[in-house]
Amino acid sequence: MAPGPTESGKPPTDEIVHRRGGGHTGLYVVVAIVVVLAVILSGAYATGYLKFASKSTSSCSGPASSVVPANSGQPAPAAPSPAFHPESGQTVSGAGSTLVQPLMATWETAYTNNTLYYSGVGSTAGINDILGKTVDFGASDAPMNPTQRSLITTPGGIDTIPESAGAAVPIYNLPTVGQTLKFTGAVLAGIYLGDITNWNNSLLQVANPGVVLPNACIIVVHRSDGSGTTFVFTSFLSKENATWNQTRGFSTQPTVFPIGIGAKGNGAVTTTVKSTPYAIGYVDINYALSNGVAFGAVQNPKGNFILASLTNIASAINDSNVKFPAANGDWYNVSVLNAPGAQDYPMATLTYVLVYANLTAADVGTSPTYITHAVGEALVDVLKWMVNETEGQSYSAAAYYVPLPAWVVASDMATIGSIAKTIPP
Amino acid sequence: MDSDNPFPPPSSRRHRRAPKWADFTFLLLTGWGAVLVLALLVALFVGFYIGSQTAIHQLGFRFLTNTVWLAATDNPVLPGNVYGVEPVLVGTLLTSALALLLAIPLSMGAAIFLTQQAPLSIRGPVGQLIELLAAIPSVIYGFWGLIVLVPIMRANIEPALASGLYWTGWFSGTPTGLDVLTASVVLAVMVIPTITAISRDSMAAVPVSQKEAAISLGATDWEVTRNAVLPYARGGVFAGIILGLGRAMGETMAVTMVIGNPSYLTPYPTSLFSQYQTIASLLATRFAEYSSPLELSSLIEAGLVLLLITLAINVVARGVLSRFQRGRGVGRE
């Protein structure tokens, strides 16, 4: 029985002293951590690295919205999945743009000569895939840029073939506003730069007379992956706003956006905006129309506010009088933005399929063979089917895509014909 | 006489010792498993080290100090191709620390309740329920966070925090629900069952005599816990916390879904409502669309950094743990 201090006044034994002394280690550790943190934080405040925020720092002090709109929190509408169809012929695989993904899904079911397989991974990933020869065709809304073109090693290069057309539209979620909003390019640039932070900003109000805009912070949503839709949107902002042009520029990569929430793919941007009150985003028109999301009218060079529709996108493509370079040439400057017509939608875009111009040359050095004879025939067949007015293009309108004008179809057919001559024996 | 001996010697014909090759075969069968696991570990490090060579050569030490992660583009305004791990490292450490800050009090409370206070009949079922939470896949947590937690944070919790605590400077910016705070809360929810389960086990292992001695001296429930149980269970609790920290630092899917994925990272998050990235979420979002070979190599180097940090934390934890256990050994009954 260990003698305690009350027994004889002797000091406690070594055992008890040691245990008492050892029992405070945890306390010392915690105190040390708190002291270190306090030193770091106070140093940071002292040097101005961290700052106290005053209550009115942000001009955007919108009220906490406890009004939850009816459609918030719902899971994303399922991406159209290809209906089951029995394997027929060869499998032609493609990957890339999410802009064209719903149309590709429709085509997967409608095209029965062979099996078409497409996955929407974003335009940049699609370009990486065709450069790496991991897919039969890539798809991108942004043409290949000079750096990507310099990575092509196959003689003959890669052909750029427009297979559909659409447009970037600004979508928004304003529970209290029923009218269609009007945006100028400068306003969109200001929002995405972070200069315009509140929905009732005077610039927005001036463009929308008579609309009661709420006093709420704008929640900016953009793409988090390499996107052709981003390329179209930021190209437009660069043309419309000098500050954007000088400080951000245009690109497929999301680093061009200084603020905002990132979402992966057109579908995720749609879902995020749809479930976040007071959010704004940009997607292709087909996502806005098929998901019932409100989108705004955009001012074109003639000063008119145009609400995107298949008609005014088609007229924009025709009026822009764009000249295509050689199929395997540099398409980086091909643009249908800011078309000159009075009723043209300013943010129209073509979307492209990327295929090797010389399939036989593309097979050199690949093992297993990149494009076999059978796959080559199937690839040419599906490309012809896609751009044909009575076949692939006939599904466009119902899926909210713009059918290709006849002159684009003619140009595409010529390109595909040249590719057909290079099918490996 | 032989018949008097109850233990006759074994006849060499019927009781032969097993041949030596049998033992050796057994050694091989069990040993190759250990060797394989060690080889995998070495291969992991070597693979990461080789993959990051491009970044190490081109960026060197700047990789640790650069405060931006800019993809390479043909955009003349932002040509990019500059990569730094400092922001995502800060993001990883911050979200993990916040998650632990939220989780530890709750876990300790739950563990103490289950071992000290709760009626005997519910200890088993409730304990098992908590351990069930640890088995839920992380993508489910991420999905729950996205669908359920984010709207609640955005509409109710974050505005309340902003109006009450704005003076700290950590609650500025528009509450969007997709931010560092929500990610930390999701991580805390994921980490609580781990810490609770391990703490509960180590507290339950405290000898009853310790507690009885404290009670007999007139200790209250709290004093019993503080003086008799916690010192004994220190090691286990600490191990549980380190395990939780490891899980929080490596968590990918759940964090990626709720942390906002902005494209332009500031050197440190200016507010708990900022959109940010951790190393894990950066790898998840950038891996498919790296813009240049340098970015790919930088991503691998970022993964190597995470690997080394996790390893360092585990090594330090083992050191502290063994010290705890040496101290505990002295406090024997």
pLDDT tens figures, A368-402? 889 999 999 999 999 999 999 999 999 999 999 99
Residue A64 pLDDT > 50: no
Is the confidence at residue A71, as pLDDT, over 50? no
DSSP H helical ranges for A306-405: 310-319, 359-363, 373-387
Closest CA to A251 of A225, A271, A289, A214: A225
- Using CB atoms, which residue from A23, A247, A262 is nearest to B77? A247
Chain A CB within 8 Å of residue B313 CB: no
Give the predicted TM-score (pTM) of the model: 0.78
- Output helix, strand, coil percentages for chain A, rounded to the nearest 5: 40, 15, 45
What does the pLDDT read at residue A82?
A: 44
Q: How far apart are CA A194 and CA A243, in angstroms?
A: 12
Please tell me which residue of chain A has the smallest CA distance to B145.
Answer: A73
Between helix A185-193 and helix A228-240 the angle, nearest 10°, is: 110
Min distance A425 CA to chain B CA atoms (Å): 34
With a cut of 90, say whether residue A237 has pLDDT above it: yes
Contact A226 B71 (CB under 8 A): yes
In angstroms, the CA B199 to CA B225 distance is 13
Return the C-alpha torsion angle B10, B12, B16, B21, nearest 10. Answer: 150
- For residue A380, the one-letter residue type is V
A256–B contact, CB cutoff 8 A: yes
Q: Is the peptide bond before A368 cis (omega within 30 degrees of 0)?
A: yes
Contacts of A112 (CB under 8 A, 6+ apart): A85, A88
| Tens digit of each residue's pLDDT (9 = 90 or more) over A309-352 | 999 999 999 999 889 999 999 999 999 999 999 999 999 999 99
Looking at chain B from residue 99 to 128, which residues have their Cβ under 8 Å from any Cβ of chain A? none
- The residue that leads in pLDDT, B181 or B317, is B181
Distance CA B187, CA B256 (A): 11
pLDDT tens digits for A13-39? 444 434 444 556 777 787 888 888 888
A333 interfaces chain B, CB cutoff of 8 Å: no
Residue A358's φ and ψ, nearest 5 degrees, are -120, 100
Average pLDDT, stretch B294-300? 93
Confidence of residue A8 (pLDDT cuts 50, 70, 90): low
Alpha helices (runs of H) in chain B, residue ranges in sequence order: 20-51, 53-59, 62-65, 86-112, 120-133, 138-144, 150-152, 158-165, 180-204, 208-216, 221-224, 230-250, 253-258, 279-286, 293-330
Could you give all domains of chain B from N- to C-terminal order, each with its CATH number? Answer: 84-292 (1.10.3720.10)
Residue of A nearest to B179 (CA): A261
B 142-181: CB under 8 A from A: 147-148, 151, 154-156, 159-160, 162-163, 166-169, 171-178
A83 has a pLDDT exceeding 60: no
Let me know how long chain A is: 425
Question: How large a percentage of chain A has pLDDT more than 90?
Answer: 69
Question: Per residue in A161-216, pLDDT tens?
Answer: 999 999 999 999 999 999 999 999 999 999 999 999 999 999 999 999 999 999 99
pLDDT higher than threshold 70 for residue B328 = no
Reported as a single tens digit per residue, the pLDDT across A94-150 is: 999 999 999 999 999 999 999 999 999 889 889 989 999 999 999 999 999 888 899
Cα–Cα distance for residue pair A342/B82, rounded to 1 Å: 43
Q: Does the structure show a pLDDT above 60 at A10?
A: no
CB of B235 closer than 8 Å to CB of B321: yes
The residue whose two tokens read 């190759």 is: B32
**From CA A66, how far away is CA B155, in angstroms rounded?**
5
Between A286 and B318, where is the model more confident?
A: A286
Confidence band for A80, pLDDT divided at 50, 70 and 90 = very low
ipTM passes above 0.85: no
Q: Enumerate residues 4 to 43 of chain A having a beta carbon within 8 A of any beta carbon in chain B.
A: 15, 18-19, 22-23, 25-26
More confident residue, B276 or A16: B276
Whether the per-residue pLDDT at A81 is higher than 50: the answer is no
How sure is the predictor about A73, in pLDDT bands with cuts at 50, 70 and 90?
Answer: very low
**What's the pLDDT score for residue B331?**
40
Task: Dig out the tokens for B285 from the structure.
Answer: 């979002």
* Rounded average pLDDT over B111-135: 88
> In the prediction, which pLDDT does A56 show?
39
pLDDT of residue B323: 77
Task: Using CA coordinates, name the residue in chain B closest to A268.
Answer: B257
**Tens-digit pLDDT profile for residues B69-100:** 988 887 888 888 899 999 999 999 999 999 99
Whether the CA torsion B5, B7, B12, B13 is positive or negative: it is positive
Instruction: Provide, rounded to the nearest whole percent, the portion of chain B with pLDDT above 90.
Output: 49
pLDDT at A46: 61
Model confidence at B320: pLDDT above 50:
yes
Tell me what the pLDDT averaged over chain A comes to.
85
Smallest CA–CA separation between B159 and chain A, in Å? Answer: 6
Chain A environment of B97 (Cβ under 8 Å): none
pLDDT at A147: 85
> What is the average pLDDT value for chain B, to the nearest integer?
88
Check A254 against B263: CB less than 8 A apart. yes
What distance in Å separates residue A219's CA from the closest CA in chain B?
A: 7
- List beta partners, residue A154: none
The predicted-structure confidence for B227-260, as pLDDT tens digits, reads as follows 889 888 988 899 899 989 999 999 999 999 999 8
Whether residue A76 is predicted with pLDDT greater than 80 in this model: the reply is: no
- pLDDT at residue number A342: 93
- Which of A102-111, A410-419, B285-294 is predicted least confidently? B285-294
Residue B181 confidence (pLDDT) above 90 = yes
Question: Which of A51-55, A169-173, A223-227 has maximum average pLDDT?
Answer: A169-173
| B252: number of Cβ within 10 Å | 18
* pLDDT above 90 (res A6): no
- B216 close contact with A: CB closer than 8 A: no
CA distances from B217 to A4, A11, A142, B211, B223 (A): 13, 20, 78, 10, 10
Q: Do A255 and B74 touch (CB under 8 A)?
A: no
Is the Cβ pair A248, B78 closer than 8 Å? yes
Residue where the block lists tokens 């979420």:
B281
Contact state of A224 with B175 under an 8 Å Cβ cutoff: no
Residues in chain A within 8 Å Cβ distance of B285: 224-225, 262, 264
pLDDT at B11: 61
Task: Give chain B positions within 8 Å (CB) of A58.
Answer: 172-174
Residue A79 has pLDDT above 70, yes or no: no
Shortest Cα–Cα distance, A199 to chain B (Å): 13
DSSP state of B155: I
With CA atoms as reference, the chain B residue closest to A52 would be B169
pLDDT score, position A354: 96
Rounded Cα distance between A423 and A409, Å, is 21
**Rounded mean pLDDT, A58-84:** 39
